[in-house]
Amino acid sequence: MGWKLVTMPFDGVAADKLEAAFEEVFTYSGHPHDAAMLVNRNPGLDGICKLYFSPGAARIFGSSLEAIGAFDCDPPQREEITLRVGHHGAEVELLPEGMRHQAAQTAAIALALIDRYNRHRALRIKRLQIPSPRLLRPRLFRAR
């Protein structure tokens, strides 16, 4: 099971009832570490409250989620949500890191690959005893 999303009008009452029901199941299930209910940080801005349920929450609360029309979704971005029910720090454990951090990781991997390539090239030049790396650069020929 993946992440589940429930959308409802932002009136506070329906979301609070759903939160109370999930909290009861969460407690009865022994407070599983992989179960959490999250809500978008600014639910009232667009008039819709978005409630996200982790895969662990979908496992213990699945029949209720199906009954209210929850649908599959991608994991939310950590910057966009707030923990409603679950262990302290569950959003950090369950959610992928922010996009900026992912981009930084990708850049670091790319730089490491480039560095590895350059070191390999330098060793090859040294081993073949090529006098200068300039010889490996492509040359442009002019048409006569």
Residuewise pLDDT in 10s, the chain (144 residues): 689 999 888 777 888 888 899 999 999 999 988 899 998 877 666 778 889 999 999 999 988 999 999 999 888 888 888 888 988 888 778 876 654 555 566 667 777 777 777 777 776 666 666 555 554 444 555 555
User: What is the domain count for the chain?
Assistant: 2
Per-residue confidence (pLDDT) for residue 37, from 0 to 100: 93
Q: Is residue 140 part of a domain?
A: no
3-state secondary structure 44-60: CCCCEEEEEECHHHHHH
pLDDT for 25 equals 92
- Helices 13-28 & 55-67 angle (0-180, nearest 10): 130
With CA atoms as reference, report the closest residue to 61 among 90, 21, 98.
21
pLDDT of residue 60: 93
Q: Write down the pTM of the prediction.
A: 0.64
Domain, as residue range, for 120: 99-134
| Residue 37 counted as domain residue | yes
- Residue 39 falls within a domain, yes or no? yes
Alpha carbons within 13 angstroms on the beta-carbon side of residue 122 total 6
pLDDT given for residue 133 in this prediction? 53
Q: Are residues 73 and 55 in the same domain?
A: yes
Task: Looking at the structure, tell me whether residues 62 and 107 fall in a common domain.
Answer: no
The pLDDT assigned to 136 comes to 47
Is 65 a member of any domain? yes
